[in-house]
Amino acid sequence: MKNTISIDRSSLTRFAWLSIAAALTTIVMKSVAYLLTGSVSLLSDAIESVVNLMGALMALSMLIIAARPPDKDHTFGHSKAEYFSSIVEGILILGAAVVISFTAIDRIIHPQVLEQMSFGLIVSTGASIVNFIVARILMKAGKKYNSITLEADSQHLMTDVWTSVGVIGGLVVVAATGWSLLDSIMALLVALNIIWTGINLVRRSVDGLMDVALPRPEQIIVETVMAKYRSKNVEFHALRTRQAASRRFLSVHMLVPGNWSVHDAHHVAEDFEGDIRIELRDAVISTHLEPVDDEISIDDINEKYMGEIP
């Protein structure tokens, strides 16, 4: 038997539009800051905002696809489309890091005096505040709706915020000491930070495409619900779990006393699935009923299943 609770995810696109608006705003602000100061670290910050825009556009398109209902060719739905957004964004981030690195190295070889530092720093600080506010909104929505796309976009924006904090701090030191080389050093540090973010995004997305098991805390939740039914003479084995972006999929064999009627066993299974969905929203659960006293039922108990709880 299979059950699921359907959640309308088409409304999540409004958060992608918010991210697009934030990216456009910060691109303009950071570009102005760069043109005023000539700072290569501010240029690297502006480049990262361009990546933010491209990632937000990709997120919008994938959220639209992921919200589509199941069809005859995609009976499990389209939720995995969100992983493509994360992979593309991760690759874009890595590309931006390469551009920033080459720009910073060129500036080390060919130094340039920075100008109008105060006004440039004010503009850059304003852009960071915009990113911080939007990042918090996206993270809250990502947690609420279990969207890896919104969480990835939020994490990317927060990386941008911390990057900007480092850049601004470095430029303050440059203004105070006149040591312009620090500007290029900060740009290289920005590139390293961006590389780390990109690698993590790609790795997490690949895990999802490879049907990684549910996170350990969620597996413990499943085990807690199982313990409740074990007290009713019900046993479980052959548990398999996987994460597909916003969707969780679980399959498990439920062993019930052989003297139970099909009617009674079915209702217990329905109750079990309902309790799981209360804890893990939007989960798709497949329960296979077996009599606990039938030796055939234990043939597969010793097999290793992905997602099995020790």
- In the chain, count H helices and then E strands: 8, 4
Is residue 273 scored above 90 in pLDDT? Answer: yes
Query: Which has more confidence, 22 or 86?
Result: 22
Q: How many other CB atoms are there within 10 angstroms of residue 164's CB atom?
A: 26
Condensed to tens digits (0 to 9), the pLDDT of residues 166-192 reads 667 766 777 777 676 776 777 787 778
Query: 176 and 258: one domain?
Result: no
Distance CA 160, CA 171 (A): 16
Number of structural domains in the chain: 2
In b/e form, how buried is each residue of 267-288, taking b as 16+ CB within 10 angstroms?
ebbeebbebbbeebebbbbebe
- CATH (domain of 25): 1.20.1510.10
Assess whether 232 and 205 both reside in one domain.
no
Q: Pick the last residue of a domain from 209, 239, 267.
A: 209
| 3-class secondary-structure state, position 237 | strand
Query: What is the band of 121 on the pLDDT scale with cuts at 50, 70, 90?
Result: confident
Candidate from 88-102, 226-240, 258-272 with smallest mean pLDDT = 88-102
Average pLDDT over residues 36-57: 77
Q: State residue 307's pLDDT score.
A: 42
Both tokens of 232, joined, read 């009713």
Domain termination site, one of 163, 178, 209: 209
AA letter at 280 = L
* Same domain for 187 and 160: yes
**Residue pair 134/85 in contact by the 8 Å Cβ criterion:** no
Query: Domain check: are 192 and 250 in the same one?
Result: no
Is 172 part of a structural domain of the chain?
yes
Q: How far is 170 from 274, CA to CA, in rounded Å?
A: 54
Residue 228 CA to its chain's centroid (Å): 32
Q: Assess whether 229 and 201 both reside in one domain.
A: no
What is the C-alpha separation between 235 and 256, in angstroms, rounded? Answer: 7
Mean pLDDT, rounded, of the chain = 79
- Nearest alpha-carbon partner for 183 in 102, 99, 98, 108: 108
Residue 234 counted as domain residue: yes
Last-in-domain residue among 209, 228, 246: 209
pLDDT given for residue 165 in this prediction: 74
Q: Average of pLDDT values for 89-118?
A: 72
Q: Is 277:283 a contact under the CB 8 Å cutoff?
A: yes
Q: What is the CATH number of the domain that holds 233?
A: 3.30.70.1350
Domain residue limits at 232: 216-298
pLDDT, residue 173, reads 72
What pLDDT is attached to residue 308? 46
Q: Are residues 78 and 106 in the same domain?
A: yes
Q: Which helix (H) or strand (E) holds 300?
A: none
* C-beta separation of 19 from 153 below 8 A: yes
0.85 surpassed by pTM: no
